[in-house]
Chain A
């Protein structure tokens, strides 16, 4: 399901820019094309280069299995803890960055260093946003978080809206959308999450592209089911989810069209603003009464 999300964003961005654009199903065709091509091997690399795409794919598979789509979800062995999710994303980032050192491609290394720099601030902000929700719902288990933020009562205090604002900025950072990154090109100067793609082809590249799409899925489902108002009933949540995801893809496309890419080294300031917003949310919750 996840390749549909970047496909939708790309389609609407094109529409907003006055072009016809690719169909939302284009990423699926891309994956199928890559599946039938052969991989490449770089001379002088070790097992890290060969294993990295599979490991990144495995981490995102585990992450997709971790994030439930409603307040009731099966335990696929990885549990539902949100800190584990942050850890799995960190492992994927480590594997991708290690593979860039293995191929010693200067462009990939530049992208990897920027990715890791931004991740320092993005991870702190992500944790703070999740802390706001954890304080409101009293648990770090995602099932409990989804159940706890359901209904309209929790939205009356300013804590959760501030957390949602912070998480919104983190969503843009994690999916690699403008103003943090330009996902339409494959230049080293504008690639942050996509860095190891340069030296891979065929099924390896398919794994990495699917992993990027899965990252969209994970953060957007989290945003929909935790940081936006959602109903209490499980079936209503499931029915509403596709609509909310589509709306959020539209919102991301709008943000990308209206925003220019900001200078990479100024991106931490934006994340710092988001972190302050989340901290304010925590203070508001503490003052408001818990």
Chain B
């Protein structure tokens, strides 16, 4: 029955793509694609709930096979939850020109490529969908930006880093298929060199795709320049599929990995989360801020995954299942609120024209739907109760706490450091999103055209409203999802179903109780506050006149943190003062927080590679005789090697 749903959904998206591209009613095509994505939600959650696998099982043979099991089901449902609103949003975001239709069609193909990756049951389909999934956003960005110089450069960096790092994915998958372990646990011996090799290759390859530090440089370049619904899909789902691949390799197929590997994964996750959010704080363009913030949340997901690996190495299987459930819950939650934030950013860009944080303001009054949804998304991503971000961060913290409690000295300390990193990340996320909410939604508008901004069309408003509702629902009843997510770990069974989050032996998160108490207490306090409505007066500011030019900027608000972390961030500042006869006539200020990984790691590596390539170019002399000489030399070497017996 669910198999029929999957085929129907894929068919709907495929037909929708064709309609969008060719037919006159291209908006209907996008609507059809959205309906197909919505069917994926139903089918995915059905598979997750019942646990019945559909289609073929995994195989190490190189024949195309498709199938869905619980883990694929939850990711397919997440894909649907993000894609359906995004595609409905596109119907108004894109215009009816040839370019707009092409982007709409390519978005549908992108969704199908991701579906293909999730349903792949053999190495060929897996790798083929992986590559297609990487290439399609590049095409979409180039079409959207009409291939201008900046987009060409960003796409080049994106493709280059994805493929250089992605070598790891190819190596890992092909080694697994060669060993016959693609889909079968227990074939690769625990502690063997093959297992460690595959694990490290997978971490590098899939970590590049997921955007883990230090392989993340493509993320803040590629995500901001894509159209908003595609950014939502990239940030919400594409980087999560790298996590899906990691879970398959580390948890399902490689058996029990040694403890030091779990600690390595924890370290990478902690560095990514703290680094991502710290750099996100100092951005002044909304989409780039959101892209860097995705790195932070991937770091949190990887922290949960690392906790799972460490707990499994200790033999604590029940808690390892909870840690995996924490990582998966944060995957679903982050997809929902990141898509919400990107779609709201797209709406603001359509309505105001720029996403420069220092030039917005007061949009909560002008665009109540989009502004309200952005507020809900910001509270969710900052990890505040009673929304969904807090639930998944709570579960991850509990898993890390258990790592500390159960571990030996080394792992326990690593777990404690990871826990402190997660706490700092949560506080930094609150800081970041107070800034975003304050600069975008609150306060007086900073430019005239922002003062006259209008709310966007109904499908765009509806899409973000649906996602905001999903945030609130997932925050109220995460337990319904977690009880099924715990069962995904291949060694564990089902967990009892509650609305809140209950883990054995320690504290619990009664989400409904907290929400009720907060709402009732706020309502009581508002009622007690009384009805006296005083006349509105300007801001007091200790009696000073309010000067619009002296409003706080993004850099000003984050300055204390910039100064505290000066040693690590090395911010640069240039102040230019012009005087005329002792009186200051002009003052120019320029400051930036440089991207240190770009400067210290990527640039030297790029320089050396180019120098090496220039040296190697000497081989291309252009003379035919030289090339024939190379060929003869190669044949001689192969013959000698065959004679000696080097070639098997």
Q: If A116-B431, A117-B560 touch, does A40 touch B537 (CB 8 Å cutoff)?
A: yes
State whether A98 touches B438 (Cβ < 8 A): yes
A3 to chain B, nearest CB (A): 16
User: Any chain A CB within 8 A of the CB of B404?
Assistant: yes
B-chain residues with CB within 8 Å of residue A104 when the two chains form the complex: 442-444, 539, 546, 551-552
Contacts of B385 in A (CB 8 A): 84, 87-88, 91
**Structural contact, B430 and A81, CB atoms closer than 8 A:** no
**B606 on interface, CB distance cutoff 8 Å:** no
A44 and B430 contact, CB distance less than 8 A? no
Whether a CB of chain B sits under 8 angstroms from the CB of A234 is no
**Residue A94 at the chain B interface, CB threshold 8 Å:** yes
Tell which of B362, B517, B536 touches A78, judged by Cβ atoms closer than 8 Å.
Answer: B517
Task: Give complex CA distance A112, B365 in Å.
Answer: 23
Q: Does B57 contact A (CB under 8 A)?
A: no
A264-B560, A265-B563 are known contacts. Are A79 and B539 too (CB-CB below 8 A)? no
Closest residue on chain B to residue A47 by CB atoms: B364
Q: Is the CB of A123 within 8 A of B424?
A: yes
Does residue B354 face the partner (Cβ distance < 8 Å to A)?
no
Closest to A97 in B: B434
Q: Are B413 and A61 in contact (CB under 8 A)?
A: no
Q: Are B539 and A279 in contact (CB under 8 A)?
A: no
Bound CA–CA A105/B439 (angstroms): 13
Q: Which of B404, B408, B421, B534 has the most CB of A within 10 A?
A: B404
Stretch at the interface among B329-337, B524-532, B607-615, B618-626: B524-532
Contacts of A107 in B (CB 8 A): 541-542
Candidates B409, B417, B518; contact of A287 at CB < 8 Å: B409
Max chain B Cβ within 10 angstroms of own Cβ: one of A53, A104, A275: A104
Residue A177 CB within 8 A of the other chain: no
Out of B404, B442, B542, B546, name the residue touching A131 (CB < 8 Å): B404
- Is A59 part of the contact surface with B, judged by Cβ < 8 Å? yes
Chain-A contact segment, one of B20-28, B458-466, B505-513: B505-513
Q: Which of B213-221, B394-402, B628-636 is the interface stretch? A: B394-402
Give residues of chain B (525-570) contacting chain A, Cβ–Cβ below 8 Å.
525-526, 528-530, 532-542, 546, 550-552, 556-561, 563-564
Q: CB-nearest residue of chain B relative to A139?
A: B506
A94-B434, A204-B529 known; A43 vs B442 contact (CB < 8 Å): no
Note all chain B residues with C-beta closer than 8 A to A113: 556-561
B417 touches A91 (CB 8 A): no
Interface centre among A88, A91, A97, A207 (most CB of B within 10 A): A91
Give the residues in chain B near A90, CB-CB below 8 Å.
Answer: 382-384, 426-427, 430
Taking CB atoms and an 8 Å cut-off, the chain A residues in 45-75 that contact chain B are: 45-46, 48, 51, 53-55, 57-59, 61-62, 65
Whether A93 lies near B560 (C-beta < 8 A) is no
Residues of chain A within 8 A (CB-CB) of B557 are 109, 112-113
Residues of B within 8 A of A54 (CB): 522, 525-526, 529
Beta-carbon contact of B437 and A40 below 8 Å:
no
Q: Tell me whether A87 and B382 are in contact (CB under 8 A).
A: no
Least CB distance from B191 to A in Å reads: 24
A79 to chain B, nearest CB (A): 5
Residue among A135, A140, A275 with the highest chain B CB neighbour number at 10 A: A140
For residue B642, CB closer than 8 A to chain A, the reply is: no
* B444 vs chain A, min Cβ distance (A): 6
Closest B residue to A282 by CB, please name it: B416
Q: Is the CB of B506 within 8 A of A140?
A: yes
Interface of A is mostly: helix
Min distance, Cβ B333 to any Cβ of chain A, angstroms: 14
Closest A residue by C-beta to B420: A124
Within 8 A of A (CB), among B385-430: 385, 390, 394, 397-398, 401, 404-405, 407-409, 412-413, 416-417, 419-424, 426-428, 430
User: Nearest CB to that of B525 among chain A residues?
Assistant: A54
Chain B contacts of A51 at CB under 8 A?
A: 522, 526
Q: Is A25 an interface residue (CB 8 A)?
A: no
Kindly identify which residue among B384, B408, B419, B551 contacts A91, using a CB–CB cutoff of 8 Å.
Answer: B384
A101 touches B434 (CB 8 A): yes
Q: Which one, A57, A61, A135, contacts B412 given CB within 8 A?
A: A135
B8 at the interface (CB under 8 A from A): no
A146 sits at the interface (CB 8 A): no
Residue of B nearest to A288 (CB): B409
Q: Which residues, 255 to 290 on A, are CB-close (under 8 Å) to B?
A: 264-265, 268, 275, 279, 282-283, 285-287, 290
CB of B79 within 8 A of chain A? Answer: no
Q: In whole angstroms, what is the CA distance A87 to B542 when docked?
A: 32
Is chain B's binding surface mostly helix, strand, loop or mixed? helix
A207–B417 Cα distance when bound, in Å, is 36
Q: Return the chain B residue nearest A201 by Cβ.
A: B534
The answer on a CB contact under 8 Å between B514 and A120 is: no
Q: B164 in the interface, Cβ–Cβ < 8 Å?
A: no
Task: Kindly state whether residue A180 has any CB partner on chain B within 8 Å.
Answer: no
Q: How far is the CB of A66 from chain B (nearest CB, A)?
A: 9
Of residues 158 through 176 on chain A, the ones whose CB sits less than 8 Å from some CB of chain B are none
Give the distance in Å from the alpha carbon of A58 to the alpha carbon of B422 in the complex. 26
Instruction: Report yes or no: A139 in contact with B383, Cβ–Cβ below 8 A.
Output: no
Residue B379 at the A interface, CB < 8 A? yes
Cα–Cα, bound, A199→B533 (Å) = 15
Of B428, B442, B535, most A-chain CB atoms within 10 Å: B442
Judging by beta carbons under 8 Å apart, are B552 and A109 in contact?
yes
CA distance A77 to B516 in the complex (A): 8
Residue of B nearest to A81 (CB): B507
Alpha-carbon separation in the docked complex, A51 to B525 (Å):
10
**Residues of chain B contacted by A65 (CB below 8 angstroms):** 517
Distance in Å: Cβ of B517 to nearest Cβ of chain A:
5
When the two chains form the complex, which single residue of A39, A42, A106, A124 contacts B532, counting CB atoms closer than 8 Å? A39
Across-interface contacts of A282 in B (CB, < 8 A): 404, 412-413, 416
Beta-carbon contact of A105 and B541 below 8 Å: yes
A79-B438 in contact (CB<8A): no
Docked complex: A23-52 residues within 8 A CB-CB of B: 38-46, 48, 51
A82 proximal to B (CB < 8 A):
yes
On whether the beta carbons of B426 and A286 are closer than 8 Å, the reply is no
Q: Verify if A254 is at the interface (C-beta below 8 Å from B).
A: no
Chain B residues near A41 (CB-CB < 8 A): 533-537
Measured CA separation A282–B438 after assembly (Å): 39
Q: Does B521 contact A (CB under 8 A)?
A: yes
Given A98-B438, A107-B542, A283-B412, 18 new contacts (CB under 8 A): A42-B539, A51-B522, A61-B521, A81-B394, A81-B507, A90-B382, A90-B427, A102-B443, A109-B552, A113-B558, A120-B561, A128-B419, A128-B420, A134-B401, A138-B405, A144-B507, A207-B529, A286-B413
Chain B residues within 8 Å of A, Cβ to Cβ: 362, 364-365, 379, 382-385, 390, 394, 397-398, 401, 404-405, 407-409, 412-413, 416-417, 419-424, 426-428, 430-431, 433-434, 437-439, 441-444, 505-510, 513-514, 516-518, 521-522, 525-526, 528-530, 532-542, 546, 550-552, 556-561, 563-564
Interface residues, chain A, with chain B CB atoms under 8 Å away: 38-46, 48, 51, 53-55, 57-59, 61-62, 65, 76-84, 86-88, 90-91, 93-94, 97-98, 100-107, 109, 112-114, 116-117, 119-128, 131, 134-135, 138-142, 144, 198-199, 203-204, 207, 264-265, 268, 275, 279, 282-283, 285-287, 290
Please name 18 pairs of A and B residues whose Cβ atoms are closer than 8 Å in the assembled complex, sorted by A. Answer: A41-B537, A44-B536, A46-B365, A54-B529, A55-B522, A78-B510, A78-B513, A81-B508, A87-B390, A87-B394, A109-B556, A112-B434, A123-B424, A124-B424, A139-B505, A207-B525, A282-B404, A286-B412
